[in-house]
């Protein structure tokens, strides 16, 4: 249980990463946001830096549900040509984001101080023994070289071990398994057909997503997983059609075992159809946890609101129902 939890890879979305403050450089034009704190991030502004006057800085990851967290990798960065990094840090964890527990030296009441980085680029890993079982993780820099500047990754796994990508991105889910209510053709040309088989997360190219032929709430994108499957999460993404930004802003989910009789996933507390928050641009991953999970062979995404045209790239997370 030591796989990356998705800060570097992007499964952890920007809004899941928050911090006590953000450093603004060059008269406030250059902002070192918390969601830049992704391991190995490239570019001129490629890390989180706490504000200069922040006496008790922290950065926080919301994993969206309780996970088993077995370690952390930290990395510094160069800011305006000078190496900056976190030399040591403490870790805290929480299940509600409000009451926090500091990670202790085993068998004592003393906060554990973890060794951090010694330069701006070499990643340094620490493991948590025992592992942390929690939804929120906070890293508190203790000693920093110059500013507290950080890139990071968390390591661990699901408590249940059931949130593997089911194969939209990898191609394990084949083209024939993906169908839709309608298809849009740019300029009415078949070579620009936004077919359902293109609705794969991070797909590249000119025509790289599914777009429906009509913009209304009766559209759907359907995946036949061939066998009953436990579905614990979904990632959605929009796309651009010749420069026009298009995405689904919210959606419902439906599921079926025979492909004919469908149930819409319910919000248990409110006793009505659950509307999932979707995307707000054409490229950022938006992950939603499906809890309780869906157990079904067929699943449909039902776009509920959209920007431009209904346009989707997606991945399903889960495991075959036997697990």
The per-residue pLDDT for 298 is 98
Q: Which of 76, 62, 64, 71 is nearest to 32 (CA)?
A: 76
pTM of the model: 0.67
Q: Which residues are within 8 A (CB) of 89 and not within 5 positions of it... i.e. 6 or more apart? A: 74, 113, 114, 116, 139, 140, 141, 142
146-160: average pLDDT: 91
266-280: average pLDDT: 93
Query: Cα(167)–Cα(315) distance, rounded to whole angstroms?
Result: 7
Q: Are residues 236 and 103 in the same domain?
A: no
Band (83; pLDDT cuts 50, 70, 90): very high
Cα 119 to chain centroid, rounded: 28
Band (79; pLDDT cuts 50, 70, 90): confident
Q: Are residues 185 and 63 in the same domain?
A: no
Query: CA Rg, the chain, in Å?
Result: 21
Q: Is the pLDDT of residue 10 over 80?
A: yes
Query: Cα(290)–Cα(302) distance, rounded to whole angstroms?
Result: 15
Supply the CATH number for residue 27's domain.
Answer: 2.60.120.260
Q: Which of 196, 235, 238 is nearest to 213 (CA)?
A: 196
Q: Are residues 183 and 140 in the same domain?
A: no
- Are 238 and 208 in contact by the 8 Å Cβ rule? The answer is no
Report the range of poorest mean pLDDT among 250-254, 285-289, 296-300. Answer: 285-289
The per-residue pLDDT for 215 is 97
pLDDT digits (tens, 9 = 90+) for 188-237: 999 999 999 999 999 999 999 999 999 999 999 999 999 999 999 999 99
Q: Is the pLDDT of residue 151 over 50?
A: yes
Q: Are residues 180 and 244 in the same domain?
A: yes
Q: Is the pLDDT of residue 86 over 90?
A: yes
DSSP 8-state assignment for residue 81: T
Q: Are residues 73 and 205 in the same domain?
A: no
| Token pair recorded at residue 84 | 């900056």
Q: Are residues 73 and 142 in the same domain?
A: yes
Range of the domain at 84: 3-158
| Token pair recorded at residue 72 | 């952390």
Q: Is the pLDDT of residue 56 over 60?
A: yes
Q: Are residues 180 and 307 in the same domain?
A: yes
Chain length of the chain? 323
Residue that terminates a domain, selected from 158, 181, 213: 158
Band (163; pLDDT cuts 50, 70, 90): confident
The per-residue pLDDT for 320 is 79
Q: Are residues 16 and 121 in the same domain?
A: yes
Average pLDDT over the chain reads: 94
pLDDT digits (tens, 9 = 90+) for 104-122: 998 899 999 999 999 999 9
Query: Cα(42)–Cα(31) distance, rounded to whole angstroms?
Result: 15
171 in the Ramachandran plot: left (φ > 0), alpha (ψ -120 to 50) or beta? left
| Token pair recorded at residue 35 | 């969601």
Band (72; pLDDT cuts 50, 70, 90): very high
Q: Are residues 151 and 46 in the same domain?
A: yes
The per-residue pLDDT for 148 is 96
295-319: average pLDDT: 97
The per-residue pLDDT for 321 is 62
Query: Cα(142)–Cα(7) distance, rounded to whole angstroms?
Result: 22
Residue that terminates a domain, selected from 138, 158, 178: 158
Q: Are residues 119 and 40 in the same domain?
A: yes
77-105: average pLDDT: 95
The per-residue pLDDT for 323 is 47
Coil, strand, or helix at residue 3?
strand
Q: Provide DSSP, 210-252.
A: EE-SS-STT--EEEEEEEEEEEEEEEEE-EEETTEEEEEEEEE
The per-residue pLDDT for 136 is 98
Residue that terminates a domain, selected from 158, 192, 213: 158
CB atoms within 10 A of CB 319: 18
The per-residue pLDDT for 322 is 58
Q: Are residues 50 and 194 in the same domain?
A: no
- Are 222 and 298 in contact by the 8 Å Cβ rule? The answer is yes
Count of the separate structural domains present in the chain: 2
Q: Provide DSSP, 261-290.
A: S-EEPEETTTTEEPPEE--SSSS--EEEEE
Q: Are residues 177 and 116 in the same domain?
A: no
Q: Which residues are within 8 A (CB) of 66 and not within 5 positions of it... i.e. 6 or more apart? A: 95, 133, 134, 135, 159
């Amino acid at each position: 249980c030591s796989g990356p939890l998705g800060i570097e890879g992007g499964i952890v979305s920007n809004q899941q990463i928050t911090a006590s403050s953000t450093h603004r450089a060059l008269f406030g034009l250059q902002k070192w946001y918390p969601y830049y704190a992704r391991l190995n991030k490239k570019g001129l502004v490629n890390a989180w830096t706490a504000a200069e006057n922040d006496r008790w800085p922290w950065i926080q990851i919301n994993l969206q549900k309780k996970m088993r967290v077995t370690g952390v990798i930290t990395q510094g960065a160069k800011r305006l040509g000078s190496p900056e990094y976190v030399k040591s840090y403490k870790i805290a964890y929480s299940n509600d984001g409000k009451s926090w527990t500091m990670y202790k030296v085993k068998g004592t009441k003393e906060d554990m101080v973890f060794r951090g980085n010694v330069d701006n680029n070499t990643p340094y890993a620490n493991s948590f023994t025992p592992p942390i079982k929690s939804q929120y993780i906070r890293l508190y820099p203790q000693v920093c070289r110059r500013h507290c500047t950080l890139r990071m990754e968390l390591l661990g796994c699901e408590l249940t071990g059931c949130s593997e990508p089911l194969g939209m991105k990898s191609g394990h889910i084949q083209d024939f398994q993906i169908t839709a209510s309608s298809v849009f053709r740019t300029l009415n040309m078949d070579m620009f057909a936004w077919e359902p088989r293109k609705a794969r997360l991070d797909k590249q190219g000119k025509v790289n997503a599914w777009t429906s032929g009509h913009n209304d709430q009766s559209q759907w994108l359907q995946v036949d997983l061939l066998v009953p499957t436990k579905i614990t999460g979904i990632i959605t993404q929009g796309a651009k059609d010749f420069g026009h930004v298009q995405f689904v802003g919210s959606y419902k989910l439906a599921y079926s075992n025979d492909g004919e009789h469908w149930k819409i996933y319910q919000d248990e507390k409110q006793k009505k159809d659950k509307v999932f928050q979707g995307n707000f641009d054409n490229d950022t991953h938006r992950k939603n946890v499906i809890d309780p999970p869906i157990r079904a062979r067929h699943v449909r995404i039902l776009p509920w609101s959209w920007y431009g045209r209904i346009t989707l790239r997606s991945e399903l997370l889960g495991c075959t129902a036997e697990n």
